[in-house]
């Protein structure tokens, strides 16, 4: 069923007596960074959001949905140097570790969320002898081993950090130019990165002396984001800068796209695989649409398919800059546009 909605946040055909399917939070600033808490037991509707202000002083805010009142409440705000390029909560559903939040910008920083507020926990810098740093574009927190974080930098490198020992386990030159995004596969050894050189490369921590080129974009167009299917790690997806399509890859058939998703009318900015299904992916972009796609037929078919029809569509009232699919609440997707954060029941 394809469902369309108006920019006011109502889906076509949805009556006001229906259980509420959309909640909106208006931040005091433009929002870019955003991530769902994965901690269960009361924090399932908690998100961290980051400001996008073109100056040194930025902020991160933690908001939580009050399910009784149906509105978001701001539970903490803290200052952050420069806009966050990515925000991620510690992948710790059971709550066995401290309640940590990671951010990247000039450095990788960890913050501890406590009842009395948010406190700086650790700052990770590669070159302690230099006053200059190469900005970090993204990072990923390993779900299997939460002591491991991998960062991506504009200086062509990726760094694997041991956050307990507070030292880099590995640093490698991953691309010929800026690295824009990085993601771990399921498990602890394999990760992939994309960058300004137009390539997606796959690495194995056990054999870092060589990598596998998974995909090279036509004409070398920069690849800006990638997402790994955690339910079936054979599948990866990526987007090109300024392009309306999404590329789906099968690591068993490198360099040849399994499928291209061509439902957006403007450049795609964000993508996320369903955390509970191996065949669903959500994409969002400058056409103000968030689209959910069913990849089950592609996963059994030949390479080179083109898919034009999503199974679900939602129209926001402005360009969508970021998107996350909640692993603690897999019926909910969050999007950000301008100063708004919306969570949508899917």
Taking only the tens place, the pLDDT of each residue in 2-43 is 344 434 343 333 333 346 899 999 999 999 999 999 998 777
Mean pLDDT of 222-239: 96
pLDDT tens figures, 75-88: 999 999 999 999 99
Mean pLDDT of 309-325: 97
State how far the Cα of 256 lies from the Cα of 32, in Å rounded to an integer: 32
Mean pLDDT of 101-127: 94
Q: Work out the burial of residue 72: count CB atoms within 10 Å of its CB; fewer than 13 is exposed, 13-18 middle, 19 or more buried.
A: buried
Mean pLDDT of 59-86: 96
pLDDT tens figures, 258-268: 999 999 999 99
Of 76, 83, 78, 21, the closest CA to residue 55 belongs to: 83
In the prediction, which pLDDT does 132 show?
Answer: 66
Collect all residues with Cβ–Cβ distance below 8 Å to 47 and sequence separation of at least 6: 34, 35, 36, 37, 62, 63, 64, 324, 334, 341, 343
Flag the least confident range among 23-37, 48-62, 123-137.
Answer: 123-137
Provide the whole-model pTM.
0.92
146 neighbors 92 (Cβ within 8 angstroms) = yes
Residues above pLDDT 70, as percent of the chain: 93
State how far the Cα of 321 lies from the Cα of 269, in Å rounded to an integer: 6
pLDDT exceeds cutoff 50 at 195: yes
In the prediction, which pLDDT does 7 show?
Answer: 40
Mean pLDDT of 294-323: 93
Note the helical H segments in 145-279.
none
Mean pLDDT of 224-228: 97
State how far the Cα of 196 lies from the Cα of 83, in Å rounded to an integer: 20
As a whole number, the mean pLDDT across the chain is 91
In the prediction, which pLDDT does 11 show?
Answer: 36
Mean pLDDT of 103-128: 92
pLDDT exceeds cutoff 60 at 319: yes
Q: Work out the burial of residue 3: count CB atoms within 10 Å of its CB; fewer than 13 is exposed, 13-18 middle, 19 or more buried.
A: middle
Q: Which two tokens stand for residue 145?
A: 């081993």
For 63, the 3-state DSSP assignment is strand
In the prediction, which pLDDT does 128 show?
Answer: 59
Mean pLDDT of 166-191: 93
State how far the Cα of 327 lies from the Cα of 324, in Å rounded to an integer: 9
Mean pLDDT of 193-197: 97
Q: Which two tokens stand for residue 17?
A: 């007596």
Residue 21 CA from chain centroid, whole number: 22
Mean pLDDT of 40-63: 93
Mean pLDDT of 90-97: 94
Under the banding of pLDDT at 50, 70 and 90, the label for residue 210 is confident
In the prediction, which pLDDT does 19 show?
Answer: 64
pLDDT exceeds cutoff 70 at 295: yes
In the prediction, which pLDDT does 1 show?
Answer: 27
């Amino acid at each position: 069923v394809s469902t369309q909605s108006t920019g006011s946040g109502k889906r076509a055909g949805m009556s006001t007596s229906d259980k509420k399917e959309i909640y909106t939070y208006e931040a005091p600033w433009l929002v870019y960074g955003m991530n769902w808490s994965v901690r269960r037991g009361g924090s399932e509707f908690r998100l961290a959001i980051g400001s996008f202000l073109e100056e040194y002083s930025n902020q991160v805010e933690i908001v939580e949905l009050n399910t009784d009142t149906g509105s978001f409440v701001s539970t903490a705000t803290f200052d952050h140097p420069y806009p966050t390029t990515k925000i991620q909560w510690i992948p710790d559903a059971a709550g066995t570790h401290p309640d940590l939040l990671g951010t990247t910008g000039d450095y990788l920083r960890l913050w501890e969320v406590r009842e009395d507020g948010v406190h700086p926990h650790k700052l990770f810098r590669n070159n302690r002898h230099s006053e200059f740093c190469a900005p970090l574009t993204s990072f990923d927190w390993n779900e299997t081993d939460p002591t491991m974080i991998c960062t991506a930098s504009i200086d062509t490198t990726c760094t694997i950090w041991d956050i307990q020992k507070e030292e880099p386990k590995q640093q490698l030159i991953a691309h010929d130019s800026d690295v824009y995004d990085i993601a771990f596969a399921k498990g602890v050894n394999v990760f992939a990165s994309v960058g300004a050189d137009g390539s997606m490369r796959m690495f194995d921590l056990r054999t870092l002396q060589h990598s596998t080129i998974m995909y090279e974009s036509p004409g070398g167009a920069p690849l800006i984001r990638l997402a790994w299917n955690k339910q079936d790690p054979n599948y990866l997806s990526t987007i090109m800068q300024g392009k309306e399509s999404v590329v789906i890859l099968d690591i068993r058939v490198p360099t040849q796209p399994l499928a291209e998703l061509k439902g957006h009318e403007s450049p795609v900015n964000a993508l996320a695989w369903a955390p509970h299904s191996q065949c669903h992916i959500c994409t969002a972009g400058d056409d103000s649409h968030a689209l959910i796609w069913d990849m089950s037929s592609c996963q059994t078919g030949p390479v080179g398919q083109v898919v034009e029809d999503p199974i679900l569509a939602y129209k926001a009232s402005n360009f969508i800059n970021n998107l996350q699919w909640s692993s603690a609440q897999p019926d909910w997707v969050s999007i950000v546009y301008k100063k708004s954060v919306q969570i949508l029941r899917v």
